[in-house]
Amino acid sequence: MAKFEPRDRKVKILATLGPASTDPEMIARLHKAGADAFRINMSHGDHASHEKTFNAIRALELKTGHPIGILCDLQGPKLRVGKFEGGKAVIPHGRHFTLDRDPTPGDETRVQLPHPELFGLMEKGQRLLLDDGKLRLRVIRADENEILCSAEVGGVIRDNKGVNVPDAEIPIPALTDKDRRDLAFAVQHKADWIGLSFVQRPEDLAEARKLMGGYGALMAKIEKPLAVRHLSQLIEMSDGIMVARGDLGVELLPEEVPPLQKRIVEQARGAGKPVVVATQMLESMIESPAPTRAEVSDVANAVYDGADVVMLSAETAAGQWPEEAVTIMDRIAKQVENDPGYDVRIALSRGEPDPTTSDALAEACASIARTLRISAVSVFTSSGSSARRVARERPRVPLLVLTPSQVTARRTTLLWGAHPVRTKDIGSFEEMIAKGKRMALRHGFGEAGGKLVVLAGVPFGVPGATNLLHVVTLQGDELKRHGEADHLG
C-alpha cells in the first residue's frame, strides 16, 4: 500500500473530474498533487461513465489507505432558450426581442422560451440575462404567451443558451426528473456529498434530504440572489455551503460578489459547516500552464477568508493542464498559511462559540494550541460533529480525526485542517490516550517529547457527547508496542 503523506496545509482542494481527468492514472496524479476530494458534475456524462469514475476513486483510496471524498453535483433546473434558424441569431442593441411559447426556430426578433412557468410571472422593468449575462434584456410587457423585451445589451445568441432571472422568484422545484435519477445514482454509489444547484429557498433542501434517505451530506450551492435572502436558514438546513460564483456573478453586479463571498464564508464557518469557494479560480489554466496574478490573488483571498475548500472546475475537468492547476492551487494555499498574518486574520473572523460543553472544549483546543507547543489536536468522533466544532475555531495545528466510520472519514476530507483516519473504536480513557498518541506518531503529527491535545466524549461511541479534553506527551516507544492493529480496512 502506497503511504499517504499528510498535506502540509489546512484548506482543502476539491477537483472536478471530466474528459481531461477521468483516467485512473490522472486521478491518482491529481490526488498526489494535492486534490483532497473530487467533484463529479452530473450535468455532463452518463451514469456508466460516472460509475467508472467512482470505481477509480475508490480503488485509489484503497491503494493509498487514505479517505477520499466524492461530491456529486446535481445539474438543477437550468433555464434555456429554444433553437434558432441556422443555430444562432444576432440581437441588435436597443431593439425589441420577444420570448414566446412558439417552438418555431427563432431569429433576431424572437425565440421560444420552453418554460411556461415564466410567462405571467415576469413584470415590466425586470431583467432577463442570456448566455451567462452576455446579453441583457429588460421586460417591457409580459402576458401568458409572450415576454416583450428591450435589448439593453445585444449580441450573438445560439441554440439552448441559458437564461437567468435575477429579479423574480421562479416557481420551479430545485430538483428536475434528471436530478432525481442522478441523486438516486449518487446515493446508490455512496457519494459522500450531494451538491444541490440553484437553491432558492429552504424548502428546496427538504426534498433532496428526503430522497437521500439519510445517506450522504447535503451541500447547498448559493448561486441565486434569492438564496442570499434565506442564507441563515439554508446554512442551518444544509451540511455544507458552496459559493457558486458562476451564476451568482451573472445575476449580481460584479462588485457585489466579493463582499458576499466573505459574508457567506463567515456565516458558514460560524455555524461549523464546511464552505467551498468555487468557479473560475484559475480559469486561465484551462489553456495556459500558469495562472494570472489576479487569479492567484483570488485563491489567496479565499484562503485568507477562512474557507474550508477551494475548488477547481473546468481547469481540471476539461483543461489542458489539470495536474498543474492542482499543484499551483496547493502552492498558493501553503504560501498563504505560512504568512505570519494568516493566523491573525483567521482569528479576527472567529465567531463566539455556543454555550455548550462541546463548543467550550473546541474553543479550548484552539486556545491551548496558541499557548503551548502542540503538534496536533486529536479528535475521536463517530459523527464528525466534534471535528467540525474544532475546525470552526481554526486552530494553528492540524486536526487528526479518528473515527470508526468510513462515512465520517470521507466526509471530513472537506473539513478545514482535518486529516481523517479510519480506526477501531475505543472503550476506555486509557485506550483513548494510548491510541491518540500512537496515531499521531504514525501519521507524522509530532514526535517523541511533543505534546498532543486529545478530545473525545464519555461514554465512548455516543454522538454529540464531547466532554473530555486531555493534553498528553508523545512517547517514542508507542509504535513499537502496538503494530498496525489500530487501522480499519
Catalytic residue among 7, 12, 83, 221, which?
221
- Which strands form 418-422's sheet, in the order they lie side by side? 418-422, 399-403, 374-380, 451-457, 466-473
Confidence class for position 226, pLDDT limits 50, 70, 90: confident
Q: Element (H or E) spanning 318, and its range?
A: none
Q: Among 28-37, 256-265, 412-421, 452-461, name the one with the lowest average pLDDT.
A: 452-461
Catalytic residue among 10, 39, 83, 127, which?
39
Would the pLDDT of 275 be above 60? yes
Taking residues 354-382, report their average pLDDT: 90
Residue 256 backbone phi and psi in degrees, to 5: -85, -20
Per-residue pLDDT of 187-198, as tens digits, reads 999 999 999 999
Taking residues 326-346, report their average pLDDT: 95
> Which percentage of the chain shows pLDDT scores above 90?
77
Catalytic residue among 32, 52, 78, 80, which?
80
- Counting Cβ atoms within 10 Å, is residue 374 exposed (0-12), middle (13-18) or buried (19+)? buried
Catalytic residue among 16, 22, 53, 279, which?
279
Is residue 423 annotated as a catalytic residue, yes or no? no
Confidence class for position 427, pLDDT limits 50, 70, 90: confident
Confidence class for position 420, pLDDT limits 50, 70, 90: very high
Say what the pLDDT of residue 429 is.
Answer: 85
Confidence class for position 255, pLDDT limits 50, 70, 90: very high
Residue 346 grid cell: 483567521
Say what the pLDDT of residue 389 is.
Answer: 92
Confidence class for position 1, pLDDT limits 50, 70, 90: very low
Per-residue pLDDT of 72-100, as tens digits, reads 999 998 899 999 999 999 999 999 999 99
Would the pLDDT of 488 be above 70? no
Is residue 279 annotated as a catalytic residue, yes or no? yes
Per-residue pLDDT of 278-329, as tens digits, reads 999 999 999 999 999 999 999 999 999 999 999 999 999 999 999 999 999 9
**Residue burial 83-113, b: 16+ Cβ < 10 Å; e: rest:** bbeeeebebeeeeebbbbbeeebbebebbbb
**Residue burial 20-37, b: 16+ Cβ < 10 Å; e: rest:** bbbeeebbbbbbbbbbbb
Say what the pLDDT of residue 183 is.
Answer: 97
Say what the pLDDT of residue 25 is.
Answer: 97
Would the pLDDT of 61 be above 60? yes
pTM: 0.92
Residue 133's nearest CA partner among 243, 226, 224, 249 is 249
In order of their start, the domains of the chain are: 12-77+175-338 (3.20.20.60), 79-164 (2.40.33.10), 352-473 (3.40.1380.20)
Mean pLDDT of the chain, nearest integer: 92
How far, in Å, CA of 120 to CA of 145, rounded? 8
Per-residue pLDDT of 35-55, as tens digits, reads 999 999 999 999 999 999 999
CB atoms within 10 A of CB 390: 32
- Angle between helices 177-188 and 203-212 in degrees, nearest 10: 40
Would the pLDDT of 32 be above 60? yes
Residue 299's nearest CA partner among 274, 344, 336 is 336
Per-residue pLDDT of 138-161, as tens digits, reads 999 999 999 999 999 999 999 999
How far, in Å, CA of 165 to CA of 322, rounded? 33
Q: Element (H or E) spanning 454, and its range?
A: strand 451-457
Say what the pLDDT of residue 478 is.
Answer: 62
Would the pLDDT of 446 be above 90? no
Would the pLDDT of 487 be above 70? no
Residue 218 grid cell: 447535503
Amino acid at 104: T
Distances (CA, A) of 439 to 199, 370, 372, 377: 40, 22, 20, 11
Residue 62 backbone phi and psi in degrees, to 5: -65, -40
Confidence class for position 447, pLDDT limits 50, 70, 90: confident
What does DSSP assign to residue 320? S
Would the pLDDT of 460 be above 90? no
Say what the pLDDT of residue 353 is.
Answer: 75
